[in-house]
Structure 1
Amino acid sequence: MVRPPRPPPPPKDKKHPKRRMNSKKAVERSAYFARREAAWVLRQVLQGDARRRATASIKSLVYGPSVRNKKATFALVCQTLKYLPLMKDVLTRTKLLTCKWKKQEELIFVTAYDVLFGRDIAMTGDVEKFLMRHKDALQAALAQLCSTQKFKHVEDLLLKNQNPVISKPRYVRVNTLKMDVESAIQEIGKTNKVAKDDMVPDMLVLPSGVDLHDHPLVKNGSMFLQGKASSMVAVALCPKPGWKVLDGCAAPGNKTIHLAALMKGKGNIIACELHEERVKVLQDTIRRSGAPNVDIVHGDFLDIDTRDPLFAKVRAILLDPSCSGSGISAERLDHLLPSFSKGHDVDAATSQRAKKLAAFQRKALAHALSFPEVERVVYSTCSIYQTENEDVIKSVLPLATSLNFELATPFPRWPRRGLPVFEGCKYSQSQAEHVLRTDPREDMEGFFIALFVRKKSINSSGKMIRRNIGESSSCSTPKNHRKRKRVMMYPFCRMLRMWSYQALARQIPTER
């Protein structure tokens, strides 16, 4: 992935080492690089949107390490996306977007917005100078567009082209590995109105629009900006201190470190992530949190050999696999994207992409249930589609029942439960009441949570046992464990995986 250009360091002056550029030059230089960083972010989200593929959200791209001038870049990206149809219309009328500039069209869009509606500052750079030479033509095209659409003022035209703004409270989760909740309330309460959440014990609720990205407690990992529904997932799993826990698809790591906090830093969490770039994000999240009990595995969750001593004693699994992200479109600012305004998401729930995601999700959930010592498995998505939620659970229920699992009810007081699609299922008539949904409008995020708990049985001697598959071996020693981390991270056993899924295929109906 090509990174946005970064500003070079200011020239050193031996006679005056603390001399700074004058304010005008500093503003001009800052704006120059903010436009290029905004163009880079714009290209990522527009390309992903055009391919209808999940990509990093606008916020995650802007607030990632690649972007220096975060506030200016974020504002430019959002404003350009708000008026992108208008900007395209103006540029089409002026015929300025020729082949020469087509490869830099995102920078053209960003700069054209700045030329027409941005701050009155000097423009440096080839693209800026080119558009400034044609500023009169751009303004004339904008006036013509106002006349055509029968608006007297440009401001009225801008209001017409705006997408609806979705406001939501600001949620922040206290990292209890570093700070207690009461101390966090006192510190945040100095500048903002703050309240405790009624469901998640370590979560605080602040007014909409509060920006905490640069807050010292967020930067040092004492607090994490995480949505309420996202934070409910780890609480639903409820791992005990001292357990061995597996996070199957861990990056960016917010749920992983929440598990560590709930376990009070005791026991062991194995955080599995396939993609190298996301592993780096996961490492950074764990480092900032100060979690002492997390080991990272760089590999495919589906390739884990459940009989490997490193994983044989796993007692709880959090599975938050790749999904459509349809439940967090507001948080991702997807309402600013072209596909949203065109209404392309009408049939997204039944698209080929959703079906492929659901197929992967079924395999991942079946694999999670197959670990010999696992007692609790949470399956969650940030999707609102039945295809990725209830349909996945229903298809895996036969396997879960054969392994002595049943659906439990996380957050019993939560009012929104699953869709009534389990009727007629021979395993249960009321499974929909066990699974949990959050609503994108009412709860600001659309999440789905299902909790599987392995039932216990009593043997002839009266001892409580669990019904497991296969024989488990003892955990590796710390010395062996460290050696594994230095080399790869676990052996792959594709033959076992093939055998498991051939058996699974006879129980789970395939998609048609």
Structure 2
Amino acid sequence: LPILKEVLASSGVFSSKWKKQEELVYVTAYDILFGQEIAVSGSVEEYIMLHKDTFRTALQKICVKRKVSNVEDLLSEKTTVKPKPRFVRVNTLKTTTGSVIEVLSKMHKVDKDDMVPDMLVLPPGTDMHKHPLVTDGKVFLQGKASCMVAAAVSPKPGWKVIDACAAPGNKTVHLAALMNGEGSIIACELNKERAKTLQHTVRRSGANNIETVIGDFLNIDSNDPSYAEVRAILLDPSCSGSGISTERLDHLLPSHSIDDQDDAGSSARIRKLSAFQRKALSHALSFPSVERLVYSTCSIHQAENEDVVSSVLPLASSLGFELATPFPQWRRRGLPVFYGAEHLLRTDPEDDLEGFFIALFVRKAAAADALEPSEDGGALGRKRKRACTTRSGGLRAFSSLRLSRMDVLCSIWGI
């Protein structure tokens, strides 16, 4: 990041008009200078592409100034990150894992990941940005922790699913692949510029069951009949981005912005994010037919992770939800700050490449009013109730505290 800032400053073309989109400028410039040639899908991309030669000239001048022969040597001065394998996800909407392995194994050692379906592991330093498999959308360059999120949702083909904060869309199209392209996904994104990136990702994936909604997920009426059949929700809201590897700049995107951890305002920033995250998670829990809900962040902070989950447990319990254990074989679990936190999942930015957090809520079939298909096939069939059980398998039941939905929401939001 310091090098990128120096490039933009020395180029003399980074005007104040882009200040409000500074994070997106950084990410776009990074892709052009150090990564892949991106598709032009918005004003920021157009601006960066227009001045890319100026930026590259500025970068070369910095190399001369630092007395290094190439960009790789320049970057190595600034990072002590240990070599990490390259993870790629096979887009099964366009190809098969076997076909991709056959192509890549001619040039690289290729291993199948032992946890995430259709994920491959390549040697550290493998550059795939311009590989035809990537440019054609048959393979996505996506970290393992990121792929674990959609896999934890585990949607079934034919389901109706909401991706609440969808851009840039990698998790969205992963959901589509897991659903074999069947059913439907509503991908919400509030930011118009990021929505363009989301739409580009969807087009590249070949998914045809994704509807992009440019708007605020919180404004969706969970009782609207249009959403009566939503069975799963993926909620990956704005967060501090503190778990993202410093060798990637995804954390600079507006929905993954981060303040300096030592900055006096960082704690205030995290408090604001946490309040929003609680509100978004509470809203996601309110959809009446949802069976599986994944809350995830790329943050290492307890305030954005365990504390958010803990704060909504009374509401979750009142609606028939309990915590389940995604990837039981994964050893790193949630911080032991409340009973049941062992069901949560954490990845470490050093040991596991990225710092992600995953919480999986499952509605108990025994406690929820399950919808049976009506004779005409509609969503509002007759309901059935079953006796409630407190525990089963890898699920953790919450306390039997029963509050009205509004009482709990008001408590969470401090109203």
Regarding TM over 0.5, the answer is: yes
CA gap 1:347/1:254 in 2 versus in 1, 3 angstroms? same
1:268 maps to which residue? Answer: 184
What is the alpha-carbon distance in structure 2 between the residues aligned to residue 319 and residue 409 of structure 1? Answer: 17
CA gap 1:112/1:288 in 2 versus in 1, 3 angstroms? closer
1:175 maps to which residue? Answer: 91
Pair 1:398-2:314 in alignment: yes
Residue 241 of structure 1 deviates from its aligned partner by 0.4
Residue 57 of structure 1 deviates from its aligned partner by 7.3
Residue 505 of structure 1 deviates from its aligned partner by 4.4
Residue 358 of structure 1 deviates from its aligned partner by 0.6
Larger Rg: 1
What does 1:25-424 correspond to in 2, within 5 Å?
A: 39=11, 56=27, 59-60=30-31, 62=33, 63=36, 64-65=38-39, 66=45, 111-114=61-64, 117=67, 162-332=78-248, 344-346=260-262, 351-422=267-338
Residue 432 of structure 1 deviates from its aligned partner by 1.3
**Counterpart AA for 1:369:** L
**Counterpart AA for 1:507:** S
Residue 110 of structure 1 deviates from its aligned partner by 6.5
CA gap 1:53/1:278 in 2 versus in 1, 3 angstroms? closer
**Counterpart AA for 1:288:** R
User: SS at the partner of 2:323?
Assistant: strand
What is the alpha-carbon distance in structure 1 between the residues aligned to residue 65 and residue 97 of structure 2? Answer: 47
User: SS at the partner of 1:399?
Assistant: helix
Residue 43 of structure 1 deviates from its aligned partner by 8.4
Pair 1:445-2:354 in alignment: yes
CA gap 1:114/1:73 in 2 versus in 1, 3 angstroms? farther
Cα-to-partner distance string for 1:322-374 (whole Å, 9 max, x where unaligned): 111111132425999xxxxxx94246896111111111100000000000111
**Counterpart AA for 1:377:** L
1:94 maps to which residue? Answer: none
What is the alpha-carbon distance in structure 1 between the residues aligned to residue 185 and residue 251 of structure 2? Answer: 36
User: SS at the partner of 2:277?
Assistant: helix
**Counterpart AA for 1:508:** I
2:407 maps to which residue? Answer: 503
CA gap 1:301/1:61 in 2 versus in 1, 3 angstroms? farther
Residue 292 of structure 1 deviates from its aligned partner by 1.5
What is the alpha-carbon distance in structure 2 between the residues aligned to residue 196 and residue 273 of structure 1? Answer: 32
Cα-to-partner distance string for 1:57-89 (whole Å, 9 max, x where unaligned): 764565433355999999x69xxxxxxxxxxxx
What is the alpha-carbon distance in structure 2 between the residues aligned to residue 207 and residue 117 of structure 1? Answer: 29
CA contact (8 A) 1:58 1:332 kept: no
What is the alpha-carbon distance in structure 1 between the residues aligned to residue 122 and residue 195 of structure 2? Answer: 30
Residue 294 of structure 1 deviates from its aligned partner by 0.7
CA contact (8 A) 1:348 1:354 kept: no
Residue 270 of structure 1 deviates from its aligned partner by 0.6
CA gap 1:285/1:214 in 2 versus in 1, 3 angstroms? same
What is the alpha-carbon distance in structure 2 between the residues aligned to residue 196 and residue 409 of structure 1? Answer: 23
1:434 maps to which residue? Answer: 343
What is the alpha-carbon distance in structure 1 between the residues aligned to residue 324 and residue 25 of structure 2? Answer: 31
Identical residues among aligned pairs (%): 57
CA contact (8 A) 1:269 1:294 kept: yes
1:95 maps to which residue? Answer: none
**Counterpart AA for 1:385:** H
Q: Structure 1 length as normaliser, TM-score?
A: 0.63
What is the alpha-carbon distance in structure 2 between the residues aligned to residue 346 and residue 321 of structure 1? Answer: 23
Count of residues in correspondence between the two structures: 363
What is the alpha-carbon distance in structure 1 between the residues aligned to residue 278 and residue 93 of structure 2? Answer: 34
CA gap 1:397/1:40 in 2 versus in 1, 3 angstroms? farther
CA contact (8 A) 2:314 2:408 kept: no
**Counterpart AA for 1:117:** K
What is the alpha-carbon distance in structure 2 between the residues aligned to residue 213 and residue 159 of structure 1? Answer: 18
CA gap 1:53/1:211 in 2 versus in 1, 3 angstroms? closer
User: SS at the partner of 1:407?
Assistant: strand
User: Aligned-residue CA RMSD in angstroms?
Assistant: 4.0
CA gap 1:366/1:509 in 2 versus in 1, 3 angstroms? closer
**Counterpart AA for 1:329:** S
Residue 228 of structure 1 deviates from its aligned partner by 0.1
CA gap 1:345/1:329 in 2 versus in 1, 3 angstroms? farther
What is the alpha-carbon distance in structure 2 between the residues aligned to residue 291 and residue 442 of structure 1? Answer: 33
Q: Structure 2 length as normaliser, TM-score?
A: 0.76
What is the alpha-carbon distance in structure 1 between the residues aligned to residue 116 and residue 76 of structure 2? Answer: 40
CA contact (8 A) 2:27 2:249 kept: no
CA gap 1:452/1:112 in 2 versus in 1, 3 angstroms? closer
Return 65-74 or 212-221, whichever deviates more. 65-74
**Counterpart AA for 1:456:** A
CA gap 1:504/1:410 in 2 versus in 1, 3 angstroms? same
**Counterpart AA for 2:411:** Q
User: SS at the partner of 2:359?
Assistant: strand
CA contact (8 A) 2:245 2:353 kept: no
1:17 maps to which residue? Answer: none
CA contact (8 A) 1:176 1:222 kept: yes
CA contact (8 A) 2:282 2:315 kept: yes
Residue 162 of structure 1 deviates from its aligned partner by 4.0
User: SS at the partner of 1:417?
Assistant: coil
What is the alpha-carbon distance in structure 1 between the residues aligned to residue 15 and residue 334 of structure 2? Answer: 37
